[in-house]
A and B are shown apart, each in its own frame.
Chain A
Amino acid sequence: MWKVAPVLLLLLATPRLTAQSAVQPAEEQARILGLENAWDRAVKQKDAAALKMLLAPELVYVDYDGKLRDKAEYLASIQSPTFHPERIVSESVNVHIYGAVAVVSGVYREKGEKNGKPYTLRERFTDTWVLRSENWMCVASHSTLISP
C-alpha cells in the first residue's frame, strides 16, 4: 500500500539547497509539484501526519467561503468525521520560485460528501511555500470558487 509519509520525507529533503544558495528552478519546481500532489493525496486519505509535515506551524489558510483557519483548525477540518473526500484533482498548476519562496497557482477540483451531503467544488488556489531548514513548507494557502 502506498504511504504518503515516506514519500514526503524524500520530497521535503533538499540537502543541496539552502536559502542562500542558488536555486535550481526546474528541480525545485518538480519537488514542489510533488509536494502539492502529496497534499492532495493526504487530504483524500485524511492523513493528518503527512499534512503536518507539509504545512508550516504559521500556516494561514483561507477556504473557498472566506473562512480563515490556522494549521490546527485546518487539520481538524480534514479529520472531521463528517468530511469524506472522494476525488481530488489539481490542474493547470504553475510554480514560480523567488529564491527561498515559491508561489504555486492552479485549479483544484474536489468531489465528496460533507455533513451527509454530496458536494462538488472547483476552486482557483494559490499556495506560498518557503524554504526552511532545507525543507519546503507551505505558509499560506488560499482558494476562491470558480464555476464548475
Chain B
Amino acid sequence: MKSAVLVMILLCSAVWLTAAQSGADPDAVTKVLALEHAWNQAEEQKDTKAMDAIFDNAMVVVDYDGTLRIKAEFLAKMRSETSHPQIEVTESMTARMLGTTVVVTGVYVMKGVENGKAYARRGRFIDTWAFKDGNWLCVTSQATPILH
C-alpha cells in the first residue's frame, strides 16, 4: 500500500514548469482536489510527514473553534496522544483557479475522540493553495461550524 506521503510527493512534483511560470496549469484544480483528499487521509492516519509536504511553512490555520495555529502548532496537535480522529469526510468540495491560486470551499464531517471525549463536527471550510517553487502548497485553512 502506498503511503500518503508518496502520493503527495507525486502530486506535488508532477508540475509543468511552463505552466508554473504562466500560472495557467490546466490540471491545477484536479491536483489540488487530490491533495485535499490526501489531507483527509493523512489526518486520519496522523501522518504529519505527509501534511508537512503540502503545507507552506507560513501557513495559518483557523480551527472550528476559532483557534489560530501556525503550521508547527497544527502538526503538533495532530501528533498529540489525546487526539484520535477516526473519520474525516468531505461532503462537498468546489475548487476555483484564480491565476496562481486555487481556492477550495467545502463541507466536512469529522468524528473522533479528543481528551477522552467523543466528538462529531460538521463545518464549512475554505482552503487557499498557492503555487510556490513548483508545488501547490496550502497557505491558509479555516473552518467554521455550520449553525443553520
Contacts and interface: CB of A to CB of B under 8 A. Distances in A.
B62 interface: yes
A19 B23 contact: yes
Interface stretch (B26-34, B43-51, B82-90, B120-128): B120-128
Given A66-B148, A99-B130, A105 B140 contact: yes
B101 A139 contact: yes
B128 A144 contact: no
B145 A60 contact: no
Tell me which of B100, B140, B145 has the highest count of chain A C-beta atoms within 10 A of its own C-beta: B140
Interface string B106-148: 0000000000000000011110101010000001101111111
Q: Determine the main DSSP class of B at the interface with A.
A: strand
A24 B143 CA distance: 30
A132 interface: yes
Nearest to A123: B66
A-side interface mostly: strand
Contact of B144 (A58, A64, A101, A147): A64
Interface in B41-88: 56, 58, 60, 62-68
Contacts of B60: 94, 96, 103, 105, 126
Which of B98, B125, B146, B148 neighbours the largest number of chain A CB atoms within 10 Å of its CB? B98
A53 to B, nearest CB: 17
B105 A103 contact: no
Contacts of A100: 23, 99-101
Contacts of A66: 123-124, 144-148
A101 B128 contact: yes
B98 A144 contact: no
Interface of A: 19, 56, 58, 60, 62-68, 94, 96, 98-101, 103, 105, 123-126, 128, 130-132, 139-140, 142-147
30 contacts: A58-B98, A60-B103, A62-B105, A62-B125, A62-B126, A66-B123, A66-B144, A66-B147, A66-B148, A68-B124, A96-B139, A98-B130, A99-B130, A100-B23, A100-B101, A101-B128, A101-B130, A103-B139, A105-B60, A105-B68, A124-B66, A124-B67, A128-B126, A139-B96, A139-B101, A142-B62, A143-B144, A144-B63, A144-B142, A144-B145
Q: Which 10 pairs, one residue from A and one from B, show the smallest C-beta to C-beta distance?
A: A146-B66, A66-B146, A142-B142, A65-B147, A98-B130, A144-B66, A124-B66, A66-B124, A144-B144, A142-B126
